[in-house]
Structure 1
Amino acid sequence: MSLDTDTGTVAAARLYGACDYYDAESLLTEDERRVLGRLRNFLDREAQPLLADYWERGEFPTQLAQPLIDLDLMEPAELTGAKSSPARGIYQGFRIFELARTDASLATWYTSQAGLFRTAIRVGASPEQQAEWMPKVIDFSLKGVFSLTEPDSGSDIAGGLSTTARRERDSWVLDGAKRWIGGAVSADVLAVFARDQADGQVKAFLVDREADGVTLEKIHGKTALRMMQNAHITLDGVRVPESRRLHNVNSFKDVAAMLRAMRSDVAWIATGIQAGAFEAALRYVTERTQFGRRLGSFQLVQEKLARMLGNVTSSLSLVVRLTEQQARGIYRDQDSALAKMQTSLLMRETVALAREVVGGNGITLETDVARFHADAEAVYSYEGTHDINALIIGRALTGESAFTR
């Protein structure tokens, strides 16, 4: 608790303090802040002590998964009236922000279900399929991942998608491969996107992870998001019943609608990473002494802290405004592309500045800065690279597509 000097009243302690300089947190309700506070306590007490060790080992701390699920964060009953309405977008954004300011892999793991897979069902499934699957998605009793990227197609996936689907009476046969699919090894189903051989259009299917013909291989040797378990998936004659096809996905335009909705989640992750790096650097320079003075007392250090804070504040303002627009039903490719592009660009600078002010200790896991610095590179690339998002924005500005054909 703290005293509001303007009003003389006692105000609730803020969750985000220094990293939320313009108090975007004030847009949250007290109930939303209470749920996020519960998440903060869990992350500080249970997750934080494990992160450096598991990041170095390249393993996910699976003991955190069920307790994180049990926090009931996706659609908390206290916010939604016993699931009668979805949680507000601003709460969902700050939930991602809170996870990412602790660890990018934790945020990516959770949003794989709450963002990517849930959006696949919300946008791609028929009303009947949604009625059956969505409650299970929300309580994690049906865990899934979004399987779009392929070994030879990332940015050019719209035209380059080569996984095939062939209809045989009441089922489909899938052949191909997917890559960089985070969380696949612990999922129940894979939301696989494949090109229908009959009409050349993209369709989507829920494939059982342990179905005949499905092979998963963990991708080794990563230098970012080391805790997140990314998989290379091979599909060899995998049979999927028609009932497991997402009935509202009949072209890549339907997939693009999902990406449009999901890209804002990654912008929130990029913003949360900046907040975590900034907080870690600020903590370090207020404790570390050099030349007989606190590091934080030097002019050059203060200038870098100010730049970091400016980046975090700009990014947070951007994602909050985007979320407010989406809450009003405004979803445009260029809006989410701008948020992903700009927050990721600022994130790169912020984590580099944090690494710089922490000095040599900034390359060790002890200060947390090194983890944010490395993980930022993966976030910079996924859900649309800088160049691809810039071209989406440029197309909207000029009316001319500069994408190669």
Structure 2
Amino acid sequence: MDLLGVAHQLHEADRTRLEQVREFLQARIRRQSIEFWNREEFPAGLVRELADAGLAGVQLDGSSHLLRGLLHAEISRADVSLSSIVGIHNELIVGMIDALGSAEQRESWLPKLTMFQAFGAFALTEPDHGSDIAGGIHTTATREGDEYVINGAKRWIGMGTIADFALVWAKCPESGAVGAFLVESDRPGYSATKIENKIGLRIMQNADISMENVRIPVENKLPGAVNFASANALLMQSRAWVGWQAVGAMLATLDICTAYAKDRQQFGQPIASFQLVQQSLAEIAGNATACLSMMMDIARKQERGELEMVDAALAKSTATRLARQTVSLGRALLGGNGVVTDHEMAKFFCDVEILHTYEGTYEINSLIVGRALTGVSAFV
């Protein structure tokens, strides 16, 4: 079912690529990811296959924003955790080094990153500062001769236990100026501890990062990251990307529930013949279609260079809200089978809870929209 005839809005070569990636993800990733999710384990082999499919460097391969968004939706349709790994890697690591890094940093890291031969971590959030991080960065970078000395802690850092380096946002203790620093994970004083027992995105290895007198050369400062606005520009694009993740999760819900309804027999007939089941399927399809249409418009704005933070915030908050409703309908439709990962729906149900919160909580993104509508800020 090609909702909205999306494939026909792509050039033939892009349409062929999207179809090939979809087939690969459904055959090689969707079911294979379940046990890794259950064990909270990083699937190195599956990630290598994602690289072989060209998904480690989609940020720089010249794809249109629409094709990139649809590719991210297809990854999420197979597994939301892996879509987070691929998306954050592209949007916030590859994208940040390409846009804000020095020529030397780009030359050193981008060839390896775009093949998943190296991994980075985007280190912004701190233990005591999440939504208010723009004015609450406590991590410091002190210049001492030809080095910076980094001190502080970061929390909820994706890929933190695996990454070869972290892009650490820190401030100068004297001037208060905020910048970004490439901190290799093998430097003395740097440690990363996995956050255990998450209910969702269990494949993504989130970490607490501690830095105590970590010394890096001055060349490790990203020259383009001159203030927090640099981070905000990246986060705007990343928030829009989460909307595509939500679309993928809703498409997966439609896939799972439609197949289940046709196969599951109750009262001597497939439950697909029941009115309440068909109503749920129609609502799931409606939510997915509405959000897919919205995200296609977001992609067009990105192509024109017109995306604003309010657009990204509206897309992220709306898509994740409707995705949350959608997976709830899906979990209920599967009954008891909806609470075990064998039938997949439970996994998507839990993963969407994380989408609703990360890359700016639902509430914060809603308030960004409210501020744009009223001209009055409800938060500092």
Q: TM-score, normalised by structure 1?
A: 0.90
- State the match for 1:395 in structure 2: 371
Write the distance in 2 (CA, Å) between the matches of 1:290 and 1:70: 43
Farther off after superposition, 266-275 or 346-355: 266-275
- State the match for 1:71 in structure 2: 53
- State the match for 1:21 in structure 2: 3
Query: Out of 264, 269, 288, which is 2:264 matched to?
Result: 288
- State the match for 1:38 in structure 2: 20
Given the superposition, is the C-alpha separation of residues 135 and 328 from structure 1 closer, same or farther in structure 2, using an over 3 Å criterion?
farther
Q: Any idea what the Cα deviations from partners look like across 1:52-71, whole Å, max 9, x if unmatched?
A: 22221111222112121122
Deviation at 1:128, TM superposition (A): 5.9
Secondary structure of 1:255 counterpart: helix
In the TM superposition, 1:161-310 aligns within 5 A as 161-310=137-286
Secondary structure of 1:92 counterpart: helix
Whether the 8 Å CA contact 2:56–2:89 is kept in 1: the answer is no
Deviation at 1:119, TM superposition (A): 2.4
Asked whether 1:54 is paired with 2:36, we answer yes
Deviation at 1:51, TM superposition (A): 2.2
Secondary structure of 1:197 counterpart: coil
- State the match for 2:131 in structure 1: 155
Q: Any idea what the Cα deviations from partners look like across 1:334-378, whole Å, max 9, x if unmatched?
A: 000000000000000000000111111101112111100011111
In the TM superposition, 1:361-372 aligns within 5 A as 361-372=337-348
Deviation at 1:139, TM superposition (A): 3.1
Structure 2 regions of 5+ residues with no counterpart?
none
Write the distance in 1 (CA, Å) between the matches of 2:336 and 2:83: 27
- State the match for 1:340 in structure 2: 316
Secondary structure of 1:49 counterpart: coil
Q: Any idea what the Cα deviations from partners look like across 1:296-352, whole Å, max 9, x if unmatched?
A: 111111111111111000111111110110111112110000000000000000000
Secondary structure of 2:31 counterpart: helix
Asked whether 1:355 is paired with 2:331, we answer yes
Write the distance in 2 (CA, Å) between the matches of 1:388 and 1:366: 34
1:44 counterpart letter in structure 2 = Q
Deviation at 1:129, TM superposition (A): 4.2
Q: Any idea what the Cα deviations from partners look like across 1:250-269, whole Å, max 9, x if unmatched?
A: 21111111111211111111
Whether the 8 Å CA contact 1:98–1:272 is kept in 2: the answer is yes
Length, aligned pairs only: 380
2:187 counterpart letter in structure 1 = A
Write the distance in 2 (CA, Å) between the matches of 1:198 and 1:256: 23
- State the match for 1:8 in structure 2: none
Write the distance in 2 (CA, Å) between the matches of 1:294 and 1:376: 28
1:86 counterpart letter in structure 2 = G
Write the distance in 1 (CA, Å) between the matches of 2:366 and 2:122: 24
Secondary structure of 2:3 counterpart: coil
Given the superposition, is the C-alpha separation of residues 128 and 208 from structure 1 closer, same or farther in structure 2, using an over 3 Å criterion?
closer
1:62 counterpart letter in structure 2 = A
Whether the 8 Å CA contact 1:123–1:258 is kept in 2: the answer is no
Write the distance in 2 (CA, Å) between the matches of 1:136 and 1:50: 25
Deviation at 1:133, TM superposition (A): 4.1
Structure 1 regions of 5+ residues with no counterpart?
1-16
RMSD: 1.8
Whether the 8 Å CA contact 2:327–2:348 is kept in 1: the answer is yes
Secondary structure of 2:224 counterpart: coil
Given the superposition, is the C-alpha separation of residues 46 and 159 from structure 1 closer, same or farther in structure 2, using an over 3 Å criterion?
same
2:344 counterpart letter in structure 1 = D
Q: TM-score, normalised by structure 2?
A: 0.95
Q: Any idea what the Cα deviations from partners look like across 1:205-233, whole Å, max 9, x if unmatched?
A: 11101111111111111111112111111
Whether the 8 Å CA contact 1:325–1:331 is kept in 2: the answer is yes
Q: Any idea what the Cα deviations from partners look like across 1:370-400, whole Å, max 9, x if unmatched?
A: 1000111111100011111111111111222
Q: Any idea what the Cα deviations from partners look like across 1:72-108, whole Å, max 9, x if unmatched?
A: 23557xxx9xx7x621111110110010001111101
Write the distance in 2 (CA, Å) between the matches of 1:279 and 1:71: 23
Write the distance in 1 (CA, Å) between the matches of 2:35 and 2:119: 26
> What percent of counterpart residues are identical?
39
Given the superposition, is the C-alpha separation of residues 335 and 201 from structure 1 closer, same or farther in structure 2, using an over 3 Å criterion?
same
Whether the 8 Å CA contact 2:56–2:116 is kept in 1: the answer is no
Write the distance in 1 (CA, Å) between the matches of 2:113 and 2:50: 15
Query: Out of 292, 299, 317, which is 1:323 matched to?
Result: 299
